[in-house]
A and B are shown apart, each in its own frame.
Chain A
């Protein structure tokens, strides 16, 4: 069943702060095999002008995707998550995420389309730090494939 277009523009309350830890950044950098010292050595990060180690560009996805759960699991929207695949992903940064950041995410439904029986949902997640400054905006496109015919 097609998703309700009237949900376009709906925003969800900001999430509780996610505190970015040095060791979590290290774990992520190691998992993607990236040895850039700016992810693990605070001195290397400071030499580039950052207050602490920074996170790889896609690290923040874990935070914004969890926030998008408010939309995905909204019973009123009624998305069938078992049929969902990740279509597109985009980030626009004001600055890199760094250790010590306390990030909140505000998710907004930017678009709902129905195409050949597939539901296409675009969600924007605005990420701010504790001071209320913008850090990054993440856009996720989710595609709920049409139910297969028996």
Chain B
């Protein structure tokens, strides 16, 4: 395990490079296959509306997978992540057009812990709304 960021080089408030992740219907179909989550709310507009959703929504776990990339791209070594948790607060609505939706992720160091670990607090939004709450990762730095 070799994170490329050194514990000594970060402080509380250090910002991680922010990223935007586009998500279209095609993305969701692909994620459904890869993850085995075939819930029709993620690909069938008629079904989604019948259960009271505005439209097809992204898998919460897809959003969770994208958000941690801000951390794993920063450290270089995804195995440096020792803890990762989120709350699913709002769905990411994905319209049936060529643009879809965009998940915006930023992160900053919220605390320095023992054993070269830091807590990263993530902010995850789509269409201006927070879609994940309490989104935090603990990562071991070099």
Contact = CB atoms under 8 A, between A and B. Distances in A.
B78 A90 contact: no
Interface string B52-93: 000000001110111011001100111101111111100000
Interface string A40-58: 0000000011100010111
A87 B88 CA distance: 5
A85 B88 contact: yes
B31 interface: yes
Number of contact residues on A: which range applies?
20 to 34
A72 to B, nearest CB: 13
Interface of B: 1-2, 21, 27, 30-31, 33-37, 60-62, 64-66, 68-69, 72-73, 76-79, 81-88, 134
B85 A36 contact: no
A16 interface: no
Contacts of B37: 62, 65
A48 B31 contact: no
B68 A89 contact: no
A105 interface: no
Interface stretch (A2-10, A23-31, A111-119): A23-31
A54 B76 CA distance: 13
B84 A57 contact: yes
Contacts of B134: 88
B66 A32 contact: yes
B65 A48 contact: no
A97 to B, nearest CB: 9
Contact of B1 (A32, A48, A57): A48
B84 A96 contact: no
